[in-house]
Structure 1
Amino acid sequence: MKPEITFEEFSKIDIRIGTITQVKDFPNARKPSYQLTIDFGGLDIKKSSAQITHLYSKEALLNKQILAVVNFSKKQIANFFSECLVLGIENSQKKIVLLQASKSNLKNGQPVN
């Protein structure tokens, strides 16, 4: 388990729902990855790199609603700037499974409460 944090510290994390609108291969990444373009509604469009190529095809990701932390500072990965952190969990085969809402067609940009 990671160190305990306060509610105030947790409240700084901004997790939102967004829809993947574009998926590109990312050949310059060290580990197999995609470059994702995600629509967060009123928060605008953000880009992210995600190591999810083992379980998801580009076609399966397109128009999928996912959860992401949207208030991280930009992180450079090779020649790409990731602007948010797509959330996932490692399965028993050490592959990332995306976290997503159990209902579809939620409003992009809605925060997790």
Structure 2
Amino acid sequence: MHFVWKGRDYKLITEVTQSGDDFSWTQIYPTDAKVTNKFTIGKECDMETIGGKKFKATVSMEGGKLSVTFPNYHHTSEISGGKLVEVNTLTHLESQEFTLIFRKNKAQ
């Protein structure tokens, strides 16, 4: 249970910009580590994990949800109720799933 409470206090910032089918997805971690991945829906691109692992992936969009498979997990994201909802399925841990919900910055 400790992990859940610690997760609630974890201040991860996600910045997403979209221009047509082109996206820039940046995550800024509490340690000031920052990862930016740029992609176009339906086209293979180079991506990187927070740990620095580089890989190729293709992001798809279906029913308003972005979907991509990373090493060891599958990620979907959508805007729901004015919030960014990310669902991650850990494929290497018997398909365990965790969900992150981000609220929009009040300054925007």
Bin the TM-score by the shorter chain: under 0.3
Structure with greater proportional strand content: 2
Instruction: Answer 1 or 2: higher relative contact order, Cα 8 Å, separation at least 6.
Output: 1
Q: TM-score of the superposition, structure 1-length normalised?
A: 0.27
Q: TM-score of the superposition, structure 2-length normalised?
A: 0.28
